[in-house]
Amino acid sequence: MCALDCPDACSLLVTVDDDGKATRLRGNPRHPVTRGFLCAKVAQYLEREYSPDRLLHPQKRVGKKGDGRFERISWDRALDEIGGRLRAIVEEFGPEAVLPYSYAGTMGLLNGAGMDRRFFHRLGASRLDRTICASAGAAGLTEALGFRYGTEPEQFRHSKLIVAWGANILETNVHLWPFITEARRQGARFYTIDPRMSRTARAADRHFFIHPGSDAALALGLMHVIIRDGLQDGDFIERHTLGFEQLREKVRDYTPRKVAEWTGIAAEEIEGLAREYATTRPAAIRLNYGLQRSERGAMAVRAVALLPALTGSWAEEGGGLLLSTSHAFHVNRKALERPDLQWKALGREARLVNMTPLGQALATLNDPPVKALVVYNSNPAAIAPNRNLVLQGLRREDLFTVVLEQFQTDTADFADILLPATTFLEHTDLYYAYGHYYLQMARPALEPPGEARSNVDIFRLLAGRMGFDDACFGESEDDMIRAALDSGHPFLAGITLEELERREFVRLRVPEPFRPFAEGGFGTPSGKCEFKAETLGYEPPEESRLGDRELRSRFPLELISPKGSGMNSSFGNRQEMDCASEVLTLHPADAAQRGISAGDRVRVYNARGACVLTACVEELVPPGVLSTIAVRWGKRAPDGHNVNALISDRLTDRGGGPTFYNCLVEVEKT
Ligand SMILES: Nc1nc2c(c(=O)[nH]1)N[C@H]1C(S)=C(S)[C@@H](COP(=O)(O)OP(=O)(O)OC[C@H]3O[C@@H](n4cnc5c(=O)[nH]c(N)nc54)[C@H](O)[C@@H]3O)O[C@H]1N2
Ligand SMILES: Nc1nc2c(c(=O)[nH]1)N[C@H]1C(S)=C(S)[C@@H](COP(=O)(O)OP(=O)(O)OC[C@H]3O[C@@H](n4cnc5c(=O)[nH]c(N)nc54)[C@H](O)[C@@H]3O)O[C@H]1N2
Ligand SMILES: [Mo]
């Protein structure tokens, strides 16, 4: 299994020679969605696996925080030091002074949200609100549909119109592409909605350049036209939705002319898209997380997710909408994570700390302050917004930082104790997906190099050092998988470890084809798709071309920093990542105004920070928009900064998510 943070969750085949060395890595052709081909980064994963840069031994910091100088120590000593420091901190400040920090470096449930959670709950540590990626979208989708799942990828082949909305399929979800190609061979059109001409947009029949963060306005404008022209599906609305009359009233104001000003998409184009979407049968939307990294992100996802209910497209094979499938994997999280252990430690639930404004948490949290930070499956010193404040926090001498890593990342440089972690080829885990409906398990194909250990193993050992004798810390990986599968949910009915072992991937017990809302059955309180018009609406983000006047007078350009062909910062040790992340794409008009030519070194800046990039002057973005690829290790940049130095830690409208793609800047030639 490829464990990288990606919707596709590929099934892999590894060829191992007599010495235990992997000689070949390829996709498993038997997997019905990932079908045996690999993306560019994972095709080269063995290079990462055997990289001379892998961390092999526990280490202790000897230089200044951030310098990245360490000496090798034994596992015993590392665990003793961590245990000793944590105990002292708990004694003086209480257990909530300890903060875990992790995200989806691995999508494995045991190494990502298993033994680690048990450990921190038993300690009584602060809980981390894991918002850095998808929480605004999750909030929006939940409001619209109740359940966070949708059209399965296999059904896209039956569509006649596919809209990729804030979705860069060719780079971030490439295993959906063959289904789209199949649909197009049978006459389907494929459109993209994105502030830049992404690789996916270049392969589309039509592209709509949209102003960053204005998607809710577009969705409401489409509804305006659909309802005005009577193109809605009265029958589906009658049977499976609530609040249509109020919606009709609400969207009256969202005229194509007004929406054109907000979105930058011409009124006629909005009219045309609305009519085409409503009258092409079946039409599917691939929504991805791009559009929810903005101040109105939850509203944007919610508004778009209401569209298929309006046109009744949920009822059709090849219709509907897909943002994520993750919510369908109803594993027994309580058994895996054991939140009940908090009561043993604290007598209550521990405080919840939002991971997005990490810099603020390190600088200002009180009662108790954060005194220990344990980082795994993430690289906050590179990927978190307001990076300069994050680094300031990580530099605090009174902060005890433990990092579990495979590589010497930006964050690893700030560790007091740095522990070597295994990769997905080296440990057992159970995997959900967020782009299909197959549950998978993987056994280690390779021995860990050096003294690397899995997260499960490390937190098990730490529990021992802390004297936690609860039975759950003695559980094996297989025990944990069995506990996770035992949830009583019909989607998992009868799926066992043995079946997973035998079959490599197991389809959730959902019908085939799975049309989740064909007969209604939404996860809302009423069981219907609730329009709730009274809370729908749009206003431009503060940090945008139509937002705060004073701010945009100083920083008039909107910067987005989407993903490229790497994997967030996971391949940050490689030069390819430096090269991809060093490019700033700007429109010829903006470049000319500032005397910038292609290839120039430019300084991008705002009140939060600056970073030096190389100009690419092309009409891949409209005037007023800049684009760069996230996110390299800052320490490898010539000026030590990456794009997150520029990005605010302001949160989304709902869900407490980051607003990476609402960022005003100015740019100058260096
Ligand atoms: N190769 C590769 N694959 C990945 C990743 C990776 O780093 N590399 N990362 C993984 C992760 S963590 C995630 S969350 C997923 C994300 O997958 P996606 O959501 O597809 O990726 P993003 O790059 O965040 O955004 C998608 C597109 O949204 C556009 N966009 C930005 N702002 C807006 C806006 O306001 N409106 C609209 N309509 N579009 C906007 C961006 O330009 C981008 O082309 O991909 C996963 N897969
Ligand atoms: N400017 C900007 N910033 C962004 C984004 C953006 O689009 N633009 N995207 C945001 C999004 S969507 C996300 S999801 C975050 C992603 O940010 P992160 O969650 O930090 O993801 P990565 O940067 O890939 O780092 C994951 C780390 O986990 C490590 N790892 C992998 N497997 C294991 C394991 O089994 N054990 C241990 N201990 N470590 C492991 C890897 O070596 C890697 O260094 O970045 C966010 N930051
Ligand atoms: Mo993400």
324 phi and psi angles, rounded to 5 deg? -150, 155
Residue 180: per-residue pLDDT? 98
Q: In what order do the strands lie in the sheet with 438-442?
A: 429-431, 438-442, 505-507
Q: Supply the residue whose CA is at minimum distance from atom 8 of ligand 1.
A: 567
> 331: left (phi > 0), else alpha (psi -120 to 50), else beta?
beta
Q: How far does the centroid of ligand 1 lie from the alpha carbon of residue 194, in Å?
A: 10
Give CA–CA dist 296/126, Å, rounded.
28
Residue 504: per-residue pLDDT? 86
Q: How far does the centroid of ligand 3 lie from the alpha carbon of residue 260, in Å?
A: 29
Q: Which band of pLDDT confidence, cut at 50, 70 and 90, is reported for residue 620?
A: very high
Q: Are 334 and 538 in contact (CB under 8 A)?
A: no
State the DSSP H helix or E strand holding residue 505, giving kind and residue range, or none if neither. Answer: strand 505-507
Give CA–CA dist 490/415, Å, rounded.
44
Those residues with Cβ within 8 angstroms of residue 614's Cβ, 6 or more apart along the chain or in another chain: 582, 583, 584, 599, 600, 601, 602
Residue 547: per-residue pLDDT? 97
289 CA closest ligand 2 atom index: 12
662 phi and psi angles, rounded to 5 deg? -120, 95
User: Could you report the per-residue pLDDT of 429-459, keeping only the tens digit for each?
Assistant: 999 999 999 999 999 999 999 999 999 999 9
Q: Which of 291, 290, 283, 328 is nearest to 307 (CA)?
A: 283
Give CA–CA dist 628/563, Å, rounded.
9
196 CA closest ligand 1 atom index: 42
Structure tokens that stand for 109 in this block: 């449930």
User: Could you report the per-residue pLDDT of 76-103, keeping only the tens digit for each?
Assistant: 999 999 999 999 999 999 999 999 999 9
User: Could you report the per-residue pLDDT of 236-265, keeping only the tens digit for each?
Assistant: 999 999 999 999 999 999 999 999 999 999
User: Could you report the per-residue pLDDT of 561-589, keeping only the tens digit for each?
Assistant: 999 989 999 999 999 999 999 999 999 99
Identical topology for domains 53-132+349-507 and 136-323: no
- Predicted TM-score (pTM) of the model is 0.98
Residue whose CB lies within 8 A of the most ligand 1 atoms, among 194, 299, 574, 577, for a mutation test:
194
Q: Which band of pLDDT confidence, cut at 50, 70 and 90, is reported for residue 271?
A: very high
Q: Does ligand 1 have an atom closer than 6 angstroms to the CB of 568? A: yes
Give CA–CA dist 145/139, Å, rounded.
10
214 CA closest ligand 1 atom index: 35
Name the CATH topology of 53-132+349-507.
Rossmann fold (3.40.50)
Give CA–CA dist 624/213, Å, rounded.
14
Q: How far does the centroid of ligand 3 lie from the alpha carbon of residue 174, in Å?
A: 15
Residue whose CB lies within 8 A of the most ligand 1 atoms, among 168, 176, 558, for a mutation test:
168
Give CA–CA dist 278/221, Å, rounded.
13
DSSP, res 70: E
User: Could you report the per-residue pLDDT of 634-664, keeping only the tens digit for each?
Assistant: 999 999 999 999 999 999 999 999 999 999 9
Q: Are 81 and 364 in contact (CB under 8 A)?
A: no
Residue 223: per-residue pLDDT? 98
Q: Does ligand 1 have an atom closer than 6 angstroms to the CB of 167? A: yes
State the DSSP H helix or E strand holding residue 603, giving kind and residue range, or none if neither. Answer: strand 601-606
218 CA closest ligand 1 atom index: 38
DSSP codes of every residue in 556-592: -EEEE--B-SS-TTTTTTSHHHHHHHTEEEE-HHHHH
Give CA–CA dist 103/250, Å, rounded.
38
Give the helix, strand, coil percentages of the chain, each rounded to 5.
40, 20, 45
Place of tokens 């008009």: 589
If DSSP codes are grouped into helix, strand and coil, which group holds residue 111?
helix
Q: How far does the centroid of ligand 3 lie from the alpha carbon of residue 134, in Å?
A: 6
Structural domain spans, the chain? 53-132+349-507, 136-323, 549-669
Structure tokens that stand for 98 in this block: 């300890």
Size of the chain, expressed as the number of residues it contains: 670
Structure tokens that stand for 21 in this block: 């060395």
Q: What is the mean pLDDT of the chain?
A: 98
Q: Are 439 and 326 in contact (CB under 8 A)?
A: no
Q: How far does the centroid of ligand 3 lie from the alpha carbon of residue 524, in Å?
A: 25
Q: Does ligand 1 have an atom closer than 6 angstroms to the CB of 171? A: yes
Mean of the pLDDT values across residues 501-530?
96
Give CA–CA dist 63/70, Å, rounded.
7
Give CA–CA dist 177/192, Å, rounded.
13
Residues in contact with ligand 2 (CB, 6 Å cut-off):
5, 103-106, 111, 132-133, 376-379, 383, 404-407, 409, 421, 455, 561-563, 567-570, 630-631, 643-644, 647, 660
Q: Which of 413, 174, 430, 184 is nearest to 284 (CA)?
A: 184
Residue 299 C-beta-side C-alpha neighbours within 13 Å: 21
DSSP, res 103: -
Q: Does ligand 1 have an atom closer than 6 angstroms to the CB of 563? A: yes
| % pLDDT > 90, the chain | 100
SS3 of 287-318: the string is ECHHHHCCCCHHHHHHHHHHHHHHHCHHHCCC
Give CA–CA dist 114/456, Å, rounded.
7
566 CA closest ligand 1 atom index: 8
Q: How far does the centroid of ligand 3 lie from the alpha carbon of residue 131, in Å?
A: 9
Pick 549-669's CATH classification: 2.30.30.90, 2.60.120.10, 2.40.40.20, 3.40.47.10: 2.40.40.20
Q: Which CATH class is domain 136-323?
A: alpha beta
Q: How far does the centroid of ligand 2 lie from the alpha carbon of residue 477, in Å?
A: 24
294 CA closest ligand 1 atom index: 35
Q: Does ligand 1 have an atom closer than 6 angstroms to the CB of 133? A: yes
